Amino acid sequence: MQTLIYEGLQLNNGDSKKVKDALVVEAALQININSKPYTVVMRTPGDDFELIRGLFYAEDIYKNKENLEFEIIEKRENGFSIINTKISKVLLGKGYLNKRTLLSVSSCGICGKQKLEDISVEGKKLVTTFNFDSHKIETMFSEMKLQQETFELSGGSHAAALFNSSYELINVKEDIGRHNAVDKVIGELLINQSIKNANCLLVSGRVSYEIISKAFIAKIPYVIAISACSTLAVDFAKEFGICLIGFSRGKKATFYS
């Protein structure tokens, strides 16, 4: 259930008519760890297991290679769901130990952070000898667009796509939230244990801090956005060793790091 049909009244040059539009679904997902509520994520239903896997990886809650077992506790017709996963206490990372109660809305990837230190990311700077071909960008975005079925219907969803070092599309995920789409696309590769194949992350909107941090944790050295980049995204991309490219439209693109 990615979209639903809603009625509206469309105004056009003084005239009005009733229309039926496909709107992208936004619904709450409650994530439980060991049968206890951990967080609520506002997302577009679908690929929930991948979303959780990617989110846990990015938030340093669970980084082991072994896959998790998920149990659907509740699944309502409106898309609201509760999913539980069991994780041994010895495998829970710092992200869980620094547990915070939060509502992660679809437009904000760092909602619920309690301290400035919570937005820092540790790790060695990425180093790559790959010689990126900027002429491939337009084709890569075209391939991603062909997979954006929800956006084609509603015009209201974001997409994230991963490509390998041969510029081959690995997978695409859509969601109402930019960072949710990134979690889903990374989460699927984590489940398939093929995250090492990811070389380039494309996003359909702007890039801010949280998307750069997710790419860094997953060791993805190239991030390309169709829209703008924030100051913090550029600063962290430089610090993390990530090549960040914004305003990638047609044959134009701006390299920020």
* 248 phi, psi to nearest 5 deg: -85, 90
The DSSP bridge pattern shows strands 103-104 and 36-43 to be parallel
The pLDDT tens digits of the residues spanning 170-202 come to: 999 999 999 999 999 999 999 999 999 999 999
Domains of the chain (ranges, CATH numbers): 27-118 (no CATH), 134-255 (3.40.140.10)
The pLDDT tens digits of the residues spanning 195-249 come to: 999 999 999 999 988 899 999 999 999 999 999 999 999 999 999 999 999 999 9
111 is catalytic: no
Model pLDDT, residue 116:
43
DSSP the chain: --EEEEEEEEEETTEEEEEEEEEE--EEEEEEETTEEEEEEEE-SS-HHHHHHHHHHHTTS---SSPPPEEEEEE-TTS-EEEEE---GGG--HHHHT----EE-TT-SSTT--SGGGG---SPPP-------GGGHHHHHHHHHHT-HHHHHHS--EEEEEE-TT--EEEEEEESSHHHHHHHHHHHHHHTT-GGG--EEEESS-B-HHHHHHHHHTT--EEEESS-B-HHHHHHHHHHT-EEEEEEETTEEEE--
Crossing angle of the two packed helices 48-58 and 209-217, in degrees rounded to 10? 90
User: Nearest CA to 163 among 205, 208, 222?
Assistant: 222
Model pLDDT, residue 14:
83
Distance between CA atoms of residues 227 and 152, nearest Å: 18
More confident residue, 62 or 117: 62
Distance between CA atoms of residues 86 and 251, nearest Å: 47
Distance between CA atoms of residues 241 and 229, nearest Å: 16
The pLDDT tens digits of the residues spanning 51-61 come to: 999 999 999 99
The pLDDT tens digits of the residues spanning 70-112 come to: 999 999 988 899 999 999 999 999 888 766 555 555 556 555 5
Model pLDDT, residue 3:
92
The pLDDT tens digits of the residues spanning 109-142 come to: 555 554 445 555 667 899 888 899 999 999 999 9
Marked catalytic residue, from 108, 111, 200, 229? 108
Model pLDDT, residue 160:
98
More confident residue, 117 or 163: 163
Model pLDDT, residue 155:
92
For the chain, give the mean pLDDT: 89
